[in-house]
Chain A
Amino acid sequence: MQINLLREGRYKQRFLPHKFILVMKITTFILLACFMQVTAKVTAQISISERNVPISSVLARIQQQSGYNLFYEDTKIKDVKINVNFNNIPLIEALERVLKNQALAYELVDKTIVIKTKEPSLLDKAGVILNSVQDLFQRIDVSGTVYDEKGLPLPGATVKVKGLRTSVVTDKDGKFYLPGVDDKAMLVVSYVGYADEEVAAKAEVSVSLEQKSDELQEVVVAYGKQEQRAITGAVTVVKKEQIESSPYLSVDKSLQTVVPGLLVTQGTGQPGGGTGNFVLRGISTGGSVLNGATPRNPLFVIDGVPVQQDPAQATTSQVAFSNPMAQLNPADIESVSVLKDASAIALYGSKASNGVILVTTKRGKAGMTTVNLRHQTDIAGRLAGTMKPLNQQQYMELLFETYKNTDAVRWTDAAIIADLAAKFPHKNDASGIVAFYDTPDWIGELYNKNAVTSINNLSFSGGSEKSNFYLNLEYANQNGIEKKSGYDRKSIRFNYENKPSEWFRIGLNTTLSYNVQNYGGGLGEESAARISPLNAIRDSNGDYIYHYTWGMSNSESTEPTGMGTLSANPVVAANLDIHKNISYRGLSNLIAEIKFLRNFSFATNLGVNFMLTETKDKHHPALAWSSYPVGSGSFIGNDLRTANLISTNSLRYGISREKHHMDLMLAHEAQVLSSDFKFIQIKDFGNNPLLEDPRYQAGTVESAYGQTQKQTLLSYFGQANYAYLNRYFLTGSIRTDGSSLFGDNKRFGTHWSAGTAWLVSSEQFFKSFVGTLNYLKLRGSIGSAGNSSAIDFNGRYDVLVLGNYAGQPTVSPNDLAPGNPDIQWEKTFSWNLGVELRLFKDRLSITGDFYRKKTNELIASVGLPLGTGFRELRDNIGTLENKGIELTVAFDLIRTKKFGWNLNSIWSTNKNVLLNSYLPLERSVFSSRQIANGIGKNYNSFYMPTWAGVNPDNGKPQWLDKDGRTTSKYSEAKEDFVGKPQPDGFGSLVNTLRYRSFELSATLYYQYAFKIYNQNASALLNDGVQPYINQGTGALDRWQKPGDIASNPRRLLFGRDGTTSDDSTRPSTRYLFDGDFLRLSNVLLTYTFERELISRFHLNGLRLFVQGNNLKTWTKYKGNDPENASSEGMGRSLYPLSRSFSFGMNVNF
């Protein structure tokens, strides 16, 4: 009786605690999350790995490790030798396995293990009787191991008894144990990404699963998943391995080299900063990119929730300092699907015509809990550009020449020295003669040589057949190469899914992050390049010089006798000023799904995207800034809150009948996008350098304003997928979107798509080719998608400004843009043809896509004729076309067990043309003035006079006039389209070598056939227009005397000869350069430890890597860095990119 009780206890311990332990685990992880305290040994875990050991010694080890007492009678045990390989398994399981083939049983009594002779229970006895009656019902206990195709154990695989509900999941050693299985039963072993395998039940089984070939892999697509082979559209899938060691904090930057058709230009090197270009298959909207706005970007959808990318903070540098994508931890990403053509994107409304990037975050896998620790340390330094500043001697040489060219009589050496002494800090030497300070090391003072970044992720994941979870804690700290700049992110993600029954599933994906960005004002590089080498950082006492009156600012007087402009020493400013963005980000969605009536399912998804960014921008009162004199100071507090809600409800119907397979979906989606913005500027606050927020103090409010916005979107859509013989595929979709941004009549836009694919290689007639060409798929799609992101919430209204006249209230139209009630959706119509083929047993795979997209009703801000009373209007102005080719070639040159060599090449080309527009030539008011749009030209092209060199006779600048002759009068120079900022093509080449456990890969990235207007060059090659700021070494090649062939004109003080200006630095192709570049963007060496080697340290996986980023650049660009450019191709001294070296490790246990 007692035995029976004990045996019941044993069963309890085996089955009931399963849930209990899981609950315990989750509780533990929540506790971990809350307190970050690791608690050792929640339950007794046993690890023994030995061969040919007597049972008695195994039991002894178990006793030792568990801390339990052990009690048994020696005589009862046949001390046979067994093999054991226990790796952190629960005590109970260990005992089960040891005693498996013994006539022994165990009991746990308090803290004691009692081993006894097995006595059949009543049930067993009954079973024996039954078994003896009928052998068919003989039951066996099955234990086994599941391996992957490389022969490594596969944890988390599901083992199911065919036809029954019984199933278990393999542990982290790939092992499973299924007791009491009918010995005639079949076991089905399955695992995500692997083909199912069936085996007959027996006491010991070993199952090897084969990975599904690519075409059978499931890919995340719009509102669901599909097998790769059934996809009719152009979709690029990026796996986490392709981006996980990237040194960038945001996923957008990490996608640069891996997605054909996606043009990414890094833009700024500011940690957590925005991109220059982030455009998929060419510009397909006329939305303004002013202040780093992102209407051209593809739509990011993370776990079903669209996320904004517009910067939280307006910026004047054209590339945003702040990038909301940097608030989301890339380490949480499981996969990224980039949807490019109509068939894939027609299902997303408001911003889909730019393409859609679907991000899926990690999920726990059924099986044992895995703990993963990932660490990466980067050491970064400034990536020096091609422009070098003059040293003091060269600077003086040019300056003296400038003076003398202007007026040799007035400007004697003594007069020049006296003038410079009045303008620049200096000391007198012993004899009282003016002596200037040595050239300071501006670069050294403004930049960190070794800026350290540390990225740490600790994740816990696991689950069972019923539920799974993934919990990740992250701390990333990036120090910028500009002093006092950096990014610091703490994030947590918790993804949980539960399936209480076969027909119901509920899940929550949520992440929270806290981000602090120091952006250092963004002027470091520009200051360093321009500042006169006469301006010393410190005086002879070693004290900082706080201000300079000349030789720094770009708004200096244009008279030598003028006052100059008081500009702060950037080193002092870096120490005293505060430029900080603090962001709180939350992204969460709840999914519930029910299945009913066999073929139906209904899913609801409720998502929230929340961001609060608080900007604190303080210019210290000790320093003059802009129009604020010393003593005033300026503090700008700038809070932006955005909260977007999305609710999606979908009804699906799926049916399979032998050769036919069909899925239908009907759905409804509603979104509310709201934002609230508050701005305050204060001056005259205290001098305390630590004061981060003087709003509490009694400063003077200089200005204060705010704005609330709200937009609603409502959509209905449907999708149908049909497959015949798994060889012919058809898809179709239709979607209607309404947006509150549009007037009543233009509110809704309807879009549709159709796609088809043919798996040629599955045809009978193709069988003879399969030896060489083992896979061939042709696909095509057509359809349209809409875009409302190019207009803002005021779009259809005339904004009035309040006033007062003669004591009476007045309202008047504002001066910018009139409302446009008739504005309607941008519509992008596209078609895509694709071919996928694989040859020589998958050794060579080629994917090619050809596409054409036409954007009708292009929305753009166009300059109006001023007789309208307004300067610009946002309107549907015309039609834009993009067409291009994308090609991906992957080649396994060598593929042996020991050695591998793989080449992977991506190449994309895109041609963009403005087909028609109601304005033949349009220059937006707000864009860079060097950019214009013309029919038949690339949308956004450079438009300026053509530089015709320097006149050798008189050193004057020359341009081409309307007849193609040279002229030295800028007013006669003819403006023309002279190039474009978007490259013709770009791509990457990744070379991967594998030797045993080592893997070495090198990534080359290139862009070609585009131009960059170097805005900074007009200052750094200014011919004396701004005589006192420093020049690039290129300025040395200047005209000095008649007959000189020089690239730069004569130097004149303020560019003036008497009262006439040479105008040599006015915009022209003089400062327009080819931007083509080739960059060795990444070299990565990884070492993955053999499992056997590390298992004794209780590790499941260990990977170490070292990498270098931006190691070498070859470019035609004469400027800082070809990627330091805005999406309009304006090259400036933005925050430089960095070259970095990383070390990292990834541990699983």
Chain B
Amino acid sequence: MVVLMLLLSCTKNFLDVDNNAALFRQNYVKDLKSLKEFLNGIYSKNAEFLEFYTSSAYPEIVSDNLKPADLSGRLANHYLWNQSASPEESERPAGSVGNRTMNGFWLSGYRLIRACDFVIEEIGKYRNENPVLADEMVGQAYAMRAYLHFKMVNIFAQTYTFTSDGSHPGIPYIMTSDISKSYSRQSVAEVYEFMITDIKAALQLLPITTTDTRFMNRLAAQALLSRIYLFKEDYAKAREVALEVTAKVPLLSISKGYPNDLFKLKNDGNTETLFQISPIPAFAIFLGRYLGTQAFVGTSDLASILREDPNDIRSSWISQSGTKWIISKFPAGAAPEIVPALSPSTASYYIPALRTSELYLNIAESAMKLGDENMARAYLNSVRKRANPNAREINESGIALMDLIVRERRKELCIEGLRMGDLQRWKLGVQRGDTADDAAKNLPFGSDKSIAPIPPQDVTTMGIPQNMGY
């Protein structure tokens, strides 16, 4: 009898163990709502890893806006252009002292990219539940995929204009969540084409009105598209798209809260921020926290530019403390919505990922390159006079005008992650007046060390070519 019962109990169902010991994607993501949570996870992990303070600091450290407070600290090797190929795998890029790579950025970046891919692949299953929401979700996924690839292509590949046609190695543009598929490095030109295609796809899907700037949206996608065209030196399109956005979202004036409100969440429409990264509860890891003497300080180069006009409101973004320049661009306690409150409060603010000021500068630069110096001066003046209404009306032209655009862009967008990309794009190389160390003074344009090594894991196991010089 017992035996019989035992035998009967052991049918095939015996092996179907409900595994609910943890949250598994296979069991959990089964409708539109849970897929939305999965999509939201991309923003959350973007804030946690790709806006981890070392990630945010990287483009400013390898260029000329920031430097490590202590040469035995984090990103010191990057600052000294002493990166090397090593299989370091820290999830948080350059998250430990002595790290010589940006492997963590590659790892996290691609995981988020594959999460975008997963949303794009799966949305068809649940679209019926709410087609409007589904379209917005997949639109966000396309635009985020382009956004993430753009960040990465600037870290791991030479700028678009390194070769005349962008045919030099870019990064893998990954459009499948299936990790068993092999991948290879596309050329930079191809990467740009894919990004543009993705954004265009997103623009077909994203709703006209923006409801929450903490999520990717139509205007932000357009702003990103303008940036991509600018980097590609397709100035006409860069200006065209930028103009469309600036017509809807003007510059934020001082009276309406510039500059501190750039870093806040504003629901009253008085903002120029198009896409902002929200800090996430319990992770006080935004760069603002580390801009005291703790990890990174400003360079005297940056200080001299920001402080050249003492009446410019932006001159207060940097101040001297002993021999060090302390950057205070990011206001403390600017994200009171986050509960529990972030501690220290210097980590409590929103990171503006895309905003109108950049578009104004895109327009100025594009117009200049397209020969419309009047337009260039007009948009440049708007940005200058916003920060100091009494600033001189500029009337330079030619190279002098271009220099002013370059200078203004560095001033307005400093520590927002664009500096290294801009220098490369302008073929300027990096010149530091701030350092006594000869090896750290000058990095010529196109130098091997101006980009990070590809993780050796990908070189050896996926067979993709390593960057030159690594």
Contact = CB atoms under 8 A, between A and B. Distances in A.
Do the two chains belong together in a single complex? yes
Interface of A: 558-559, 602, 604, 647, 649, 668, 670, 707-714, 738-740, 747, 793-794, 796-813, 815, 818-819, 821, 863-871, 873, 919-923, 925, 971, 1059
A733 B110 CA distance: 49
B37 A808 contact: yes
Interface in B381-431: none
Contacts of A806: 40, 43, 212, 214-215, 278
A813 B111 contact: yes
B42 interface: yes
B321 interface: no
Given A714-B14, A869-B179, A799 B6 contact: no
A865 B458 contact: yes
A810 B179 contact: no
Given A649-B7, A803-B280, A871 B107 contact: yes
B466 interface: no
29 contacts: A602-B3, A647-B6, A668-B10, A710-B19, A712-B14, A738-B12, A739-B15, A740-B17, A747-B15, A793-B21, A800-B22, A800-B24, A800-B28, A805-B278, A806-B43, A806-B278, A810-B37, A811-B34, A812-B41, A812-B115, A813-B41, A815-B91, A815-B107, A864-B179, A866-B106, A867-B183, A867-B464, A871-B89, A922-B461
Contacts of B29: 800, 811
Contact of B23 (A668, A793, A802, A925): A802
Interface string B32-68: 0010011011111101100000000000000000000
Nearest to B106: A866
A815 B24 contact: no
B331 interface: no
Contact of B72 (A558, A714, A809, A922): A558
A647 B4 CA distance: 12
B460 interface: yes
B103 interface: yes
B436 interface: no
A821 B180 CA distance: 12
Contacts of B302: none
B2 interface: yes
B44 A805 contact: yes
Contacts of B460: 920-921
A710 B455 CA distance: 37
A713 B10 CA distance: 10
B458 to A, nearest CB: 4
Nearest to B26: A797
Contact of A805 (B2, B22, B280, B458): B280
Given A794-B19, A803-B44, A806-B43, 10 more contacts: A710-B19, A740-B17, A797-B26, A800-B24, A805-B40, A810-B43, A811-B25, A818-B179, A866-B89, A866-B110
B169 to A, nearest CB: 14
Contacts of B12: 714, 738
A803 B12 CA distance: 37
A815 B215 contact: no
B254 interface: no
Contacts of B224: none
A810 B461 contact: no
Contact of B179 (A649, A873, A921, A922): A873
Interface string B146-165: 00000000000000000000
Contacts of A604: 2-3, 6
Contacts of A801: 23
B112 interface: yes
A810 B21 contact: no
Contact of A670 (B6, B22, B34, B114): B6
Contacts of B107: 815, 866, 869-871
A865 B27 contact: no
Contacts of A747: 15
Contacts of B111: 813, 815, 869-870
Contacts of A802: 23
A866 B107 CA distance: 5
B87 interface: yes
Contacts of B89: 866, 871, 925
B128 to A, nearest CB: 22
Contact of B71 (A649, A864, A925, A1059): A1059
B114 A869 contact: yes
Nearest to B97: A558
A798 B41 contact: no
A869 B26 contact: no
* Most chain A CB neighbours (cut-off 10 Å) among B21, B28, B34, B174: B21
Contacts of B16: 740
B43 A805 contact: yes
Contacts of A920: 460
Given A799-B22, A867-B106, A869-B114, A812 B461 contact: no
A1064 to B, nearest CB: 16
Interface string B74-108: 00000000001001010100000000000100111
Contacts of B71: 1059
Nearest to B16: A740
* Most chain B CB neighbours (cut-off 10 Å) among A668, A798, A804, A806: A806
B370 interface: no
Contacts of B446: none
A865 B43 contact: no
A802 B44 CA distance: 10
Q: For the complex of A and B, list the 3 residue pairs with the smallest distance between their C-beta atoms, beginning with the closest.
A: A869-B111, A812-B41, A797-B24
Nearest to A805: B44
* Most chain A CB neighbours (cut-off 10 Å) among B27, B212, B455, B460: B460
B358 to A, nearest CB: 22
A668 B5 CA distance: 13
B40 A867 contact: no
B305 interface: no
B207 interface: no
Given A803-B280, A866-B89, A798 B458 contact: no
Contacts of A559: 72
A811 B23 contact: yes
Contacts of B293: none
A919 to B, nearest CB: 5
Contacts of A866: 89, 103, 106-107, 110, 455, 457-458
B172 interface: yes
B2 to A, nearest CB: 7
A129 to B, nearest CB: 53
A867 B174 contact: yes
B214 A800 contact: no
Contacts of A807: 337
A668 B11 CA distance: 11
Nearest to A807: B337
Contacts of B251: none
Contacts of B174: 867
A819 B25 contact: yes
B45 A812 contact: yes
Nearest to A675: B21
Contact of B26 (A798, A803, A812): A798
A867 B105 CA distance: 10
A786 to B, nearest CB: 15
Contacts of B10: 647, 668, 670, 714
A535 to B, nearest CB: 26
A641 B91 CA distance: 32
A803 B280 CA distance: 8
Interface in B109-139: 110-115
Contacts of A710: 17, 19, 21
A563 to B, nearest CB: 14
B338 to A, nearest CB: 9
B119 to A, nearest CB: 12
Nearest to B280: A805
* Most chain B CB neighbours (cut-off 10 Å) among A604, A649, A796, A812: A812
A630 B192 CA distance: 56
Given A649-B3, A867-B183, A800 B25 contact: yes
